[in-house]
Structure 1
Amino acid sequence: MVNKSRMNRVAAAMAVAALVSVALPGASAQAAATTPRIDLRVLVVDDGGSSVEAITAELRDTGVPYTRVQLGGSGRPVIDAAFLSDVVDGRPRAKYQGVVLPNENPFGEGSAEMAALVAYEAAYGIRQVDAYTWAHPGVGLEYTDSGGYSGQLDGTQAAVTAAGKAGPFGYLGGQVAFEDNSALVPESYGFMGRPRAGYTSYVDAPVGSGRASLVGEYTHDGRSELVVTFGYNQYQQQFRLLARGIVDWLTQGVHLGQSRSWFAVHVDDVFAPDARWNKELDCTPGDYACAGGEGKESTIRMSAADAQYAAQWQQAKDFKLDMLFNGGAGEEWKAENGGTDALTAQLVADRAKYRWLNHTYTHPFLGCIQDTTTVPWTCVKDASGAVTWMSRAEISAQIRDNVNWATSKGISVDRTELVTGEHSGLKTLPQQGQDNPNLAGALADNGVRWVGSDNSREPAQRPVGAAQTVPRHPMNVYYNTGTNAEMADEYNWLYTSRAQGGSGICEDNPATSTCLPAPLDTDTGYLEHIVPAEARTALRHVLANDPRPHYVHQSNLAEDRTLYPVLDRVLDTYRTLYAPNTPIVNQSMKEIGTELGRRAAWDKALAAGRVTAYRIGTAVTVKAPSGVLAPITAPNGTKKQLLLGTADFGTAYAGNRSAWTGPEPLQSSVTLRLPG
């Protein structure tokens, strides 16, 4: 049965080869006579599977232009010679620099479309990614019954080979860990095969006494395929680790778009106390409605020792926290506690060790005037039924007074950055369906250009007058808990059913929340369950080229210092998985806002078809609309053409160079000179 199958595949391969000259007559001769133009765009043939969707998401999120052809779509274009190439200004043009297929031949045996692709790839040196296939000789691998494996891959500890490190995956530290988040749910499946002639393994794993390949390059018939033999989706760690290398291999290291591993952590409410969760009442007295909470209010606030620990932790981890401060709240605390405040003294003494960000002077709600006698709160309205808003003058004072307080303490603050308390002033659904109409003016009064927003509510950047929002990821480390036990208790309340003693929120909202099978042990649940889950979520953002900052609260640096185990796991895991040439990028809010704005402008230009980019030999030309910077990735040694001479292009990251760039003065396009 196996021999017959092999014979059929050989016959099919011969049939495809026989069709090459029919599909692209004279293409090889034409390309050889004149150096062809290769457009910087990827062709994606989509079968609706998660593996192709994952690669497509990486292209989209990185900023790589692509054309998607839906295999089962009615009226889809036919992939033939005219679809793939033409002639521009007398020069042969390859319309796509790389091809992503669901597998090595999704069109069927004897397909003219596959024959056209084979001829095109061979003629122009275009590479092909087989997003997910099985181990067999047709992709350069032995069958799994010849020293390989097929089955579940959860928890597999794969590794980058020497060829992978020298090639497309040199940014990795060596380990490719497959997720195993639940013993009850199969999470990944695949095939591992031993290489045949023409196949170079880039990622392999142990099988018996040897190793077999999961990712590799198969070179044959004048073509190169990147063969992936396991299934995945865009969120799984194993794909996220390999995604950058897949794109770099496909594009031969030259493409539009760039990516980084971003991580910034905002610590809100510094100098102010945060209200404490009450384990008996299952609510937070003093913070909105809490039945029976009168007189049971309690707060959490960092101590001077906590501040000293934060500075020491930063140095040990080589990672800087953003301190979002409320100077007036600190002054109120000092006045109420004998006129001294060791925490403020310590943080001010260490002020140069942190980035500081304005969080308003006393942390009031800057939106509508709230009526907190209702549950949930509502906006107060005047006699005519109009909403009553905090005034422009009051908002402006909160911004201005906090900056002045910082200046008086020698704390350096960027006046263009602001995060309001609870992101207030911005629309807050369902109670406040619009921004406070006085907010934009107050921002302008103080020169604020970047205002923090809640990514869980508003994931897209948007304007607020002349300012732009910077969406922030909330971390699931609660503001109203100072100890591990409090964290686990509140988590149990939110994530267990009513029958288990919880709130039942999870069972009422199954689409967005999953109930725990049983309550966590409050002594061990935080470190054993919550920390791994939250670190996994944060790391997923880091690996997904997502620059949005994460935010927590000063209470998480106090008492049991609940934040550090999460951050330790994120940073330590990342630095184990990645090589030193691919460090975490920790930016200020202004820098993050600028990055998001550039991406939005770039995506708009791509969608409008207003970007032209191509490569002719070692010259790369990129034209974008005026004022729109282009993200470009290129090999080390690439030079940017200046009006007179050249300069090194971009900054080094992950084994190549990349940057947002535009034309030099008196130039209409960007021109890069590739090495060699």
Structure 2
Amino acid sequence: MKRTIRTTALAVGALIASLGLPAGPVHADAPAPRIDLRVLVVSDGGPATDAIAAELETAGTPYTEVDLQDADRPVIDAGFLADTVDGRPRAKFQSVVLPNDNPFPANSAEMAALASYEQTYAIPQVDAYTYARPEVGLQYAVGTGYAGSVDGVRAEVTPAGLAGPFGYLDGAVPFEDNSSTVGESYAYLSTPAPGADFVPYVQAAIPGRATKGSLVGEYRHDGRRELVVTFVYNQHQQQFRLLARGIVEWMTGGVHLGADRNYFAVHVDDVFAADDRWDTELNCTPGDVDCPPGEGTPNPIRMVPADVDHATAWQDSRDFTLDLAYNGSGSVDHRQDNGGADPLADKLIADRDRFRWINHTYTHAFLGCRQDVSAVPWKCATNPDGSTRWVSRNEIADEIATNRVWGELAGLPLEDDELVTGEHSGLKVTPQQPEDNPNLGPALADNGIAWLASDNSRDPVQRQVGSATTVSRYPMNVFYNAGRAAEQVDEYNWIYTSRAQGGSGICEDNPATSTCLAAPLDTATGYAGHIVPLETRIALGHVLSNDPKPHFIHQSNLAEDRIAYPVLDGVLEGYDALFADSTPVVNLRMEDIGAEMRRRAVWRSAVDAGQVTGHRIGDTVTVQAPDGVAVTATMPAGTLHGGTGFGNAYAGALSGWTPTAGGPLSLTLPSSAAAPSAVGPGDTAAATPTAPRTRVPAGVTEPVPYGAER
């Protein structure tokens, strides 16, 4: 449960009068104030405030950003912060995010207005990154604490943090250390100042001392509450991703529009078919388009029944379900070549209800332009007039329909409106095919396809293609043409090393696209020692980013050395070590992911257009959204909607989507979520001095990549 602070009101009449702020909430007989569900982010262009704004953006939480570097920005004064609506005092923002505790010049009227606003309406303030000093309830870091790098430090959530806004975590907050030569994190570690009402929520050991210093803590003073963050971060770093939810929950009291969950889904392509194998001598894949015609001998990789047993046992041990994208002709061809026998298909069909299934077309044909593979790289074949030769509408429709019928006859539990085309073909692929096959959209409509997979590395934005909406998938850098770890490493070395080292030189030609290896990896140890931890960190980063997009691998990666499992285990084991049981990985099937992405886009568009409003008066939350726009919100446990429970439990709160018909949505909060009140009496002196300049290492302003990514 989230801790609620109940305290008395402030006597701030003189300062309120001088600033023109409404004084209604101070008086016992005044109506309860209206608090709008919108966050004020005051930015200095630094990575910390940008990270919090990005979290709000991704979650769909309305916010207003004021850029202190913009000469035309609005002035933050009483009228900007509050007014009166229907005779009731209104606070326009439920919380304030500042770059530090006071980013304004000395004796700033804007900081005084913010301080008074926070006192009057019990509005919390987040100091996104500030210097440890008495003005924020901490002792100076110099002398008794520490100021410096915290790369690789393992911080921890305190008991107060676990009982409060960070209760969704298991306790550990590891800081990234992706490079030994680049500073990635910097912090001021310090203990509470004598007499300060300061509660650490996240802390780490102070080097050379037996004490621990605060990294995130709550400071209550002068009728105000501040969340004091004394380490710098950007929106991509794991330490911020772990704490982002708690920062938002603290500053909104657990009552806000928008939601944040941790998603992970894995699609396994080419099931029933076989994948061509990488040739370590030729540095290409015989049978595929990266080898010149006739060069090498295909040596396909295909699962066997024991691999199915391993997959089902793995799923049971992880409480996780894989999505199998299948090609029916793979089994038909195998039976034709093996006297009618296909033990793999028999096993998969027998265990069909243990998995989710997706139509991946019958033969895995390329459904874009006609490929001219007479040279490497391939190109689109052309008609005599120079126009592109396209795969026809009927051919595409047949690939979809035939595979669906094969799956239905096999009893596979399908959703007929989902489709993954072979290699995401039919959709644009640069440089050869910069536009979609014009026959793709009509063929999708012919088959009632509503959700079409796309490759996030080349088509990341959800869009409409005929009757279908795309669902972008993250490609894992576990290669489709590798069944053995040594093969994976050999191909990885070829791609990511220089020509002088026997590699492709792709990194030399495109240094911004990927990161070269300093030297080739050992084929015996490189997979477990380099590729697995790298791919684990990349995928886990997606999981922690409130990103529902699925990842995809291939059936070859579940065969032979089963090289996908160490990465999948790394993601799920790493996740379990970080999060409490109340915050499980959300494992959705493709159509549900697509629907989530589409609802978010509609909601975000409505929020950006100013068509969504939300406010709280006492224990009642009212949200207004356009007809047809489902509302996303996060509320405390016990919140009711029309007398019934709201949303679904996640991370100790309730969240979800609620349809609307254009009228107001009303939610009733539980008594435990009492309306915020002022912290307690305090003086009304001028705001604290301008915060000292803090250090921001290069690895925060320019995030250090995890490493090579294809």
TM-score, reference length from structure 1: 0.95
CA distance in 2, matches of 1:24, 1:215: 33
- Opposite residue 27 of structure 1, the aligned amino acid is A
* Cα distance in 2 for residues equivalent to 1:591 and 1:66: 27
Kept in 1, the 8 Å contact 2:13–2:23? The answer is no
Residue of structure 1 in register with 2:417 after alignment: 416
SS at match of 1:499: helix
- Tell which deviates more after alignment, 125-134 or 207-216: 207-216
Name 1:640's counterpart in structure 2: 641
CA distance in 1, matches of 2:15, 2:32: 24
Q: Which has the larger displacement, 141-150 or 569-578?
A: 141-150
Q: Do residues 166 (structure 1) and 167 (structure 2) align?
A: no
Partner AA of 1:22 in structure 2: S
Structure 1 residue aligned with 2:173: 176
Residue 89 of structure 2 aligns with which residue?
92
Structure 2 residue identity aligned to 1:669: P
- Deviation of residue 435 (structure 1)? 1.6
State how far apart, in whole Å, the 1-side matches of 2:25 and 2:554 are.
65
User: Do residues 102 (structure 1) and 102 (structure 2) align?
Assistant: no
Partner of residue 584, structure 1: 585
The answer (yes or no) to whether the contact 2:35–2:90 under 8 Å persists in 1 is yes
Matched, 1:27 2:23: yes
CA distance in 1, matches of 2:368, 2:626: 38
Q: How many Å apart are 1:26 and its aligned residue?
A: 4.8
Shift of 1:281: 1.1
Q: Please say if residues 128 and 225 of structure 1, whose CA atoms lie closer than 8 Å, have aligned partners that are also in contact.
A: yes
Q: Give the alignment partner of residue 139 of structure 1, picking from 123, 136, 141.
A: 136
AA of the residue aligned to 2:349: V
Please, which of 189, 193, 197 is the counterpart of residue 192 of structure 1? 189
Query: 1:337 Cα deviation (Å)?
Result: 2.7
Secondary structure of 2:147's counterpart equals strand
> How many angstroms does 1:18 deviate by?
8.6
Identical pairs, percent: 59
**Alignment-derived partner of residue 668 in structure 1:** 663
- The Cα of 1:228 is off from its aligned counterpart by 0.4
Q: Show the counterpart of 1:115.
A: 112
Contact 1:20/1:118 (8 A) holds in 2: no
The answer to whether the 8 Å contact 1:45/1:100 transfers is yes
Secondary structure at 1:415 match in 2: strand
* Deviation (angstroms), 1:21: 4.8
Indicate the SS of the match to 2:202: strand
Unaligned 5+ runs, structure 1: 1-15
Q: Is the 8 A contact 1:281 1:292 kept in 2?
A: no
Displacement after TM superposition at 1:144 (Å) = 1.9
Q: CA deviation at 1:375?
A: 2.9
Question: How many residues were matched structurally?
Answer: 655
Which residue is 1:242 aligned to? 243
Tell me how far apart the structure 2 counterparts of residues 29 and 436 of structure 1 sit (CA, whole Å): 62
1:80-99 C-alpha deviation (Å, 9 max, x unpaired): 00010111111111111111
More displaced stretch, 166-175 vs 393-402 = 393-402
Alignment of 1:180-259 (within 5 A): 180-196=177-193, 197-207=196-206, 208-259=209-260
Q: Give CA deviations for 1:296-316 in whole Å, capped at 9, x if unaligned.
A: 221111111111111111111
> How many Å apart are 1:182 and its aligned residue?
2.3
Deviates more, 1:204-213 or 1:112-121: 204-213
Give me the whole-angstrom Cα distance separating, in 1, the residues matched to 2:102 and 2:590: 46
- For 1:25 and 1:639, locate their aligned partners in 2 and report how far apart those are by CA, in whole Å: 33
RMSD of Structure 2 on Structure 1 (CA) = 1.6
Distance 1:458 1:65 in 2: 27
Structure 2 counterparts to residues 588-599 of structure 1, below 5 A: 588-599=589-600
1:50 is matched with 47
Q: Counterpart of 2:5? A: none
Cα separation, 1, equivalents of 2:274 and 2:20: 72
Shift of 1:20: 5.6
Query: Which residue pairs with 2:654 in the alignment?
Result: 657
Structure 1 equivalent of residue 65 of structure 2? 68
* Aligned 1:137-536 pairs, distance under 5 A: 137-145=134-142, 147-196=144-193, 197-207=196-206, 208-291=209-292, 294-536=295-537
Which segment is superposed worse, 387-396 or 265-274? 387-396
Q: Which residue of 2 aligns with 1:4?
A: none
Shift, 1:145, TM fit? 3.9
> C-alpha separation between the residues in 2 aligned to 1:656 and 1:94?
24
Distance in 1 between the 2:340 and 2:238 partners?
51
Give the partner amino acid of 2:550. P
**Residues in 1 aligned to 2:452 and 2:267: alpha-carbon distance in whole angstroms:** 13
Q: Find the counterpart in structure 1 of residue 605 from structure 2.
A: 604
How has the CA–CA distance of structure 1 residues 233 and 29 changed in structure 2, closer, same or farther, with 3 Å as cutoff? closer
Does the Cα contact within 8 Å between 2:21 and 2:78 map onto a contact in 1? no
What's the CA shift for 1:30? 6.2
From the superposition, tell whether residues 29 and 550 of structure 1 become closer, same or farther in structure 2 (CA, over 3 Å).
closer
- CA positional deviation for 1:614: 0.7
Runs of at least 5 residues in structure 2 that lack an aligned partner in the other structure: 1-11, 672-710
SS at match of 1:393: helix
Counterpart of 1:540 in 2: which secondary structure?
A: helix
**Aligned equivalents of 2:454 and 2:62: distance in 1?**
29
Q: TM-score, with normalisation over the residues of structure 2? A: 0.90
How far apart, in 2, do the equivalents of 1:193 and 1:459 lie?
A: 42
Secondary structure (helix, strand or coil) at the match of 2:442 reads helix
The runs of 4+ residues in structure 1 deviating greater than 4 Å are: 16-21, 28-32
Q: Distance in 1 between matches of 2:346 and 2:382?
A: 42
Which amino acid in structure 1 is aligned with residue 572 of structure 2? L
Q: Deviations over 1:157-200 (max 9, x none)?
A: 11111110110000000111111222222211101110232100
Moved more, 206-215 or 573-582: 206-215
CA distance in 2 between counterparts of 1:214 and 1:385 reads 63
Alpha-carbon offset, residue 446 of structure 1: 1.4
Displacement of 1:433: 2.2
Deviations 1:2-31 (A, max 9, x none): xxxxxxxxxxxxxx9996652245535567
Q: Secondary structure at the match of 1:269?
A: strand
| Partner AA of 2:329 in structure 1 | G
Q: Which amino acid aligns with 1:74?
A: A
In structure 2, what is the equivalent of residue 3 of structure 1?
none
| SS of structure 2 residue aligned to 1:44 | strand
Higher relative contact order (CA 8 A, sep 6+): 2
